Amino acid sequence: MAGYPTHVRIVEVGPRDGLQNEAGQIDTAAKVAFIDRLSQTGLEVIEVTSMVNPQWVPQLADAEEVYRRIHRHQGVSYPVLVPNMEGWKRALATGVQTIAVFTAASETFNRKNTHCSIAESLERISPVLEQARSMNVTVRGYISCALGCPYEGDIEPHRVADLAARLNRLGCDEIALGDTIGIGTPLQAKSLVKSVAEQVPLERLAIHFHDTYGQALANILACLELGVSVVDSSVAGLGGCPYAPGASGNVATEDVLYMLHGMNIHTGVDLAALSKIGRAICAQLGRDNHSHVGRALMSGKR
């Protein structure tokens, strides 16, 4: 495997993964404005929302309206999360062109998150993938708890690799390996990617790390060394998981960009513009900015 990539595609998950766990209901217009501002920063991918049952994630009950109202920019992809055929039908009716499906490497977490086993979750998404392929809709597959589970502890890399191989065979164009509770460390992250890359082409892999133990940037760097070139992040470190006790926010997009740009790795994203959006959304939500870079820029240190 080669060294550092020359270009990294940032997948901004703030509007979906970042907002889904916020306690107070966020106005639809605010979500649309948030996404529209992100669209002007040079991001290539912005995960907009999720077509899950509003009963489980009330914050995203306005999924269709949000998607319809955003101003889609040429060259920017706007995927939505789809849990099953019902979600697929909603996405299709809304005009969605890129979707994401999900499962987990932990049986217990999968039952908490989707109320079914891993095998059953694959059965749910198989017809979605089949229809998406027939309509040339791009599909990303998420694997949660790829480095550890709040209920089962450590997850062996071969379990994740086998699951990733199944998603690949089902037709996922890209597979994101998620450290849902942010428990992983660099050598574990590297071991995971190496294991999965034996069954799925490296260029089809993405990484999605939470920063619970402050290891996300180190884990990303370790994976970049292997040639991984797709990184998920959330502006201002927004996010968490309602089904993963103790999981804090995603790694902050500002922090990832600062590291990548300092390594002369191209992203096409305007860090200064993105950091302003991070400050604005935190002020709007009444919460702290979890981006180190965002806070440093706000204080005028650079």
pLDDT in tens, 174-200: 999 999 999 999 999 999 999 999 999
Asked whether residue 286 is domain-assigned, the answer is yes
At residue 246, the pLDDT reads 52
Does residue 229 lie in a domain region? yes
Nearest to residue 220, comparing CAs of 195, 255, 174? 255
Tell me what the mean pLDDT of segment 194-221 comes to.
97
In a domain, 4, yes or no: no
- Domain assignment of residue 3, yes or no: no
Dump pLDDT digits (tens) for 253-268: 999 999 999 999 999 9
Residue 301 reports pLDDT greater than 90: no
Active site residues: 241
The domain of 227 spans: 9-298
The pLDDT assigned to 4 comes to 96
pLDDT (0 to 100) of residue 3:
86
CATH of the domain at 180: 3.20.20.70
Answer whether residue 289 shows pLDDT above 60. yes
Residue 1 domain-assigned (yes or no): no
Within-domain flag for 2 = no
**Per-residue confidence band for 240, with pLDDT thresholds at 50, 70 and 90:** low
Q: Considering its fold, how many domains does the chain have in total?
A: 1
Look over the chain and give the mean of its residue pLDDT values, rounded to a whole number: 94
1: confidence class by pLDDT, cuts 50, 70, 90: very low
Q: Looking at 35-44, 107-116, 154-163, 264-273, which range is the least confident one? A: 107-116
What pLDDT score was predicted for residue 115?
A: 85
Radius of gyration of the chain (CA): 18
Q: What percent of the chain has pLDDT over 70?
A: 95
Residue pLDDT, tens place only, 42-92: 999 999 999 999 888 899 999 999 999 999 999 999 999 999 999 999 999
Span 259-280, average pLDDT: 98
Q: Evaluate whether 243 touches 112 at the Cβ level (below 8 Å).
A: yes
The reported pLDDT for the residue numbered 248 is 64
Asked, for residue 249, whether it belongs to a domain, the answer is yes
Give the span between the Cα atoms of 17 and 233, in whole angstroms. 9
Assess whether pLDDT exceeds 80 at residue 106.
Answer: yes
Asked whether the predicted pLDDT for residue 244 surpasses 80, the reply is no
Closest CA relative to residue 105, chosen from 140, 57, 154: 154
Residue 97 clears pLDDT 90, i.e. is over it: yes
214 falls within a domain: yes
Q: For position 178, what pLDDT does the model report? A: 97
Alpha helices per DSSP H over the chain: 28-38, 63-69, 85-94, 107-114, 118-134, 157-170, 186-197, 216-224, 253-262, 271-285, 292-298
